[in-house]
Structure 1
Amino acid sequence: MTSPLLAVLAGLGFGLSLIVAIGAQNAYVLRQGLLRSHVGAVVAICAASDALLIAAGVAGIGVIVEQFPLVLVIVRLAGAVFLAFYGVLAARRALRPAILTADARPGSGSLWAAVLTCLALTWLNPHVYLDTVLLLGSVANTHGDERWWFALGAAAGSVLWFSALGYGARLLRPVFARPLAWRILDAAIALVMLALAVSLVLPLLLPS
């Protein structure tokens, strides 16, 4: 195998290790996939955002982010507010079956709402900048001249993961034929979102 190919495979594996985890973005993509609602747009936004962040990290933007911690503090606060708001909405759906039934129809929800929610969950997450820009960028630069091949592999990992999550979710549709399954899913999403919101604010409240 050539050195660029090894770098691509390394980037693919490392990229997948960062995004294949329970989080706000993955929970949203899964839910949109189950609803079959604007899946293509959501997957494209997630994958394109990751590609831009990966490129920024490899280009050295992570150094700038590291030098201006106030930016991450602002993003952390804005992200916490949005995650808490989305978590409350998910909890409301789980507690009120009437809202759940209306919202669980395939294709429900506007495209703009899906796009804006996906952008907020992606770009208002400070962990994205810490993991994708700083960490992945640092690892990529250890590959020297092949660092952009590493970045290509990491970006391909994002495309593969979000496509599999968004379009593969329809395989679980039989499980979600019952309203109770939707209520459990939304309750889990609410817990994830609210826990993430708390985790973003807590470091700012605790003494360093």
Structure 2
Amino acid sequence: MIPNRPFRPAPVTARDKLLEAAVKLVRTNGYAATSVDELCREAGVTKGAFFHHFPTKEALGVASAEYWSASTSGFFAAAPYHHHADPVDRVLGYIDFRVALIGGPVEGFSCVAGTMVQEAFRSSAAIRVACEASIMGNCAALEDDIAQAMAQRGVTGTSAASFARHIQAVIQGSFVLAKTQEPAEAAELAREQLGHLRRYFAMLFKEDTEETMQ
């Protein structure tokens, strides 16, 4: 397991402090239950500072999804699975890396965009679109490796984009299932689901299905 740690440097500006507060509080309490007052307290800034940077709570929600995307995309771009020569190993390595990130309380490994969109997909089109961009950005980052793996192993009948969406659907779903559990069991349930995902892809690409995850 990779210990949970921030993907970003410590915030310095009031705006970044508010975005960091949003990441923490939305993952812990949800978007609707997080008030502007709570965000300001967590960030250690005044309400005036909040409204200087964000005209509404919705605007902060959109910005926090974009902030989350920018930081996590850089983190995954630098991950070691990219160094595998075989595209199948890169796809399986991505799943292994996601498994390794799961540990501790759910709010430490769940997705800000996935959490917000579950609550706000009908009430805020702007937040829905920002969360879609975040989650689908993760899909797009996998497509080339999946396409190469499909071509190399002769896998047909669907598209790399569809496979990439399936991976993200399982990841997001594993976070939802984890939230149904007591804290001590949450991470293990999420890892279990990604383990099934890994075995599916290993069989699909005719890899050694007895291989265990790192």
TM-score normalised per structure 2 = 0.31
More helix by share: 1
TM-score normalised per structure 1 = 0.31
